[in-house]
Structure 1
Amino acid sequence: MQVLITGAHGQVGDGLKRYLGDRGDYELTYLDRDDHPDYDTHVADVNDYDAIRPAFDGQDAVIHLAAYPTTDGTWEQIRDSNLHGTHNVLEAAADAGVSQFVFASSIHAAGMYEEEHAPELYELDFDLTVTHEDPERPDSYYGASKAFGEDWGRYFIECREYPEQFYAIRIASIREPPYDNPYGDAEKGVERGDWERGSHEYETQVKRLQGTWLSQRDWVQLVELCLADDELEFGIFFATSENERGWYDITHAKDVLGYEPQDQGEAWTEPPQDLVEHVENNREI
């Protein structure tokens, strides 16, 4: 299967390259605005349609990751990378006749549910479940851009010949190793000097990530399930691991795609030793 990954060299693309790159089922093409010493890359910015268009020829699927990645984005940053860029990628996929489109959406398309209820939301006994059928509630330009991408994908499915299938995966919290665990954000704060291990701020970060963590291997599983599907035309799926604290519903992904998470946030009761050592070696004093 020929698969193009846009924004391949960012944090979300790391797991796809590591887990899928050596498998015979996929021939991956990487598109990114920056080159990479270890990966042959079509270097182009998604904001430039003519520059990215050749990379789509002959592809069976596109995994669209390229975007300004955080909620602090200004209108100009979000407009160029996330709005115009997503439009360009969809147009290029349509023009090239690409059948499948996997869109890296975000829980921030519904982020105001968290904003409204945090930090009480991070406790195990808090009663809230947000499903794919609940209204979009973006918490930022970034979140609104992800909601836009989902709606733009539905337009292409219903009004254009290609893509034929569109999957919006509302990613929660993916972290690169050694931070790929529920203690990752808390330990990053220790590394930066923002708080001490065991402080209230540290424990709050742990609780939040125990609810939103999407392990790299669970993320890759979801992508593979989308690529293997030949029935669904359009779908929106919240994406976390099997977290008891999670307030975003993943039963839809289980029922429709056959998602079986391998990891769970609450299974971790302390940070892994390799992460602690990494933080202590890089800690800002």
Structure 2
Amino acid sequence: MDTNVLVTGPAGPVGTAVTDHLAGDDSPYEFTLLDVEELDDPPAGAETVVADVREYDEIRPHFEGQDAVVHLARVPGMGGSGARDVGWSEPFADNLEGISNVYEAAVDAGLDSVLWASSNHAVGMVEVRNEPDCYHDGEVLAGHDEPHRPDSLYGVTKAYGEDLGRLAAEAHGVCFYGLRIGAVRDPEYDHPYGDAERGVDRGDWERGSDEYDEQVARMKALWQSRRDLAHLVDRCLRDESVEWDHFYGLSGNSRRWLDDADHARETIGYEPEDDGEEWDGPPE
């Protein structure tokens, strides 16, 4: 029997990675894609709906008949994922409301599981306090048991989503998976040189500059290929053992300052195929 999966915010790099690799005629999943606007090119076979996660009454009907929700939707406007901003703002409040609405709808509709697109920024102060050395020495600084150390309001929303997910799991019996995603990019930049090459394309720096090399070093630790991200989602959707847990969304990178590889493999069978260290240059 197919698993019915609702995906919020499916148009971004993470959402398209999920559907590019997991949707299709032979897929065990029936996807419903919920976004605030009509999708330009939805995958074949997926149902699409328009709704705003900030409006509970809009999204609640679309949870009926679903087995799981992959919650990716984010209200923009907090100054970027790495901004060290402090203070209340409308986008910040909107994101907290959207997260709460999705979790409430999942509990009310009796979904089996919630997959939350958390982020490395939930523990991002580890990076802030140790950059740039952590990009180069390969020392693991944050393991699976690292407490929340958000580096921005963006990181605070991700930590909030993890905590609310734990409440949903322990109080309401919804299986919760927090995916602390590292760096997933669009297909054009789906490699550990992606951020550096994107900077070249924008005119921010030149290939071979110190800035370019620093971006490469950072990405070799944080990169998660699109196929590895989809594999991680697939393993969570198939899992029947977890009550509440979180996993770092990374490829099998040899260089890393975040690490729960053994935990992810032993708990949900996550076996990434890619390693940023195997790349010695951008694709030609």
Partners of 1:174 and 1:247 lie apart in 2 by 17
Once the two structures are TM-superposed, the CA of residue 128 in structure 1 deviates from its matched residue by 3.1
In 1, the alpha carbon distance for the partners of 2:219 and 2:139 equals 17
Aligned to 2:69: 62
- Specify the code of the residue in structure 2 equivalent to 1:253: A
Q: 1:182 is matched with which residue?
A: 192
Among 3, 15, 18, the alignment partner of 2:17 is 15
Distance 1:207 1:185 in 2: 10
Question: What is the aligned residue count?
Answer: 269
Instruction: Tell me what 2:265 maps to.
Output: 254
Secondary structure at the counterpart of residue 24 of structure 1: coil
Q: Are the equivalent residues in 1 in contact too, given 2:144–2:260 (CA < 8 A)?
A: no
Match of 1:111 in 2: 124
CA separation in 1, counterparts of 2:144 and 2:97?
Answer: 25
Give the Cα–Cα distance (whole angstroms) in 1 for the partners of residues 27 and 98 of structure 2: 30
How far apart are the structure 1 equivalents of 2:243 and 2:123?
22
CA shift, 1:231, in A, is 1.3
Correspondence for 1:78: 92
Partners of 1:239 and 1:250 within 8 A in 2:
no
Separation in 2 of the partners of 1:36 and 1:172?
25
Confirm or deny: 8 A CA contact 1:56 1:93 kept in the other structure: yes
- Which residue of the other structure, out of 221, 224, 228, is the alignment partner of 1:211? 221
- Cα RMSD, aligned residues only: 1.4
Aligned to 1:283: none
Instruction: State the match for 1:135 in structure 2.
Output: 147
1:30-179 equivalences under 5 Å are 30-39=33-42, 40-68=47-75, 70-71=80-81, 72=83, 75-81=89-95, 83-123=96-136, 125-161=137-173, 163=174, 165-179=175-189
Structure 1 segments unaligned to the other structure (5+ residues): 274-285
Contact conserved, 1:75 with 1:141, CA < 8 A, in 2? no
Cα distance in structure 1, aligned partners of 2:282 and 2:238: 34
Deviation at 1:38, TM superposition (A): 2.5
Q: Distance in 2 between matches of 1:51 and 1:10?
A: 21
**TM-fit CA distance, 1:126:** 4.5
Is residue 215–residue 241 contact of structure 1 (8 Å, CA) maintained in 2?
yes
Equivalent residue for 1:281? none
Aligned AA for 1:53? R
Whether the aligned pair in 1 keeps the contact of 2:118 and 2:159 (CA below 8 Å) is: yes
Which whole-Å CA distance do the structure 1 matches of 2:205 and 2:40 have between them?
A: 35
Q: Return the alpha-carbon distance in structure 2 between the equivalents of residues 28 and 2 of structure 1.
A: 6
Runs of at least 5 residues in structure 2 that lack an aligned partner in the other structure: none
**1:190 Cα deviation (Å)?**
0.4
CA distance in 1, matches of 2:154, 2:40: 29
Q: Which residue of 2 aligns with 1:199?
A: 209
Query: Residue type of the partner of 1:10?
Result: G
CA deviations on 1:78-119 (whole Å, 9 max, x unpaired) are 2202x1101000001111111111111000000000000101
Q: Distance in 2 between matches of 1:75 and 1:130?
A: 29
SS at match of 2:49: strand
In 2, distance between residues paired with 1:246 and 1:78?
Answer: 29
Given the superposition, is the C-alpha separation of residues 24 and 242 from structure 1 closer, same or farther in structure 2, using an over 3 Å criterion?
closer
Give the whole-Å Cα distance in 2 for the aligned partners of 1:243 and 1:63: 25
Output the TM-score relative to the length of structure 2. Answer: 0.91
1:29 to 28, 32, 35: 32
Query: What TM-score do you get using the length of structure 1 for normalisation?
Result: 0.91
Q: How much has 1:136 moved relative to structure 2? A: 0.9
Percent identity reads 48
Deviating 4+ runs (over 3 angstroms): none
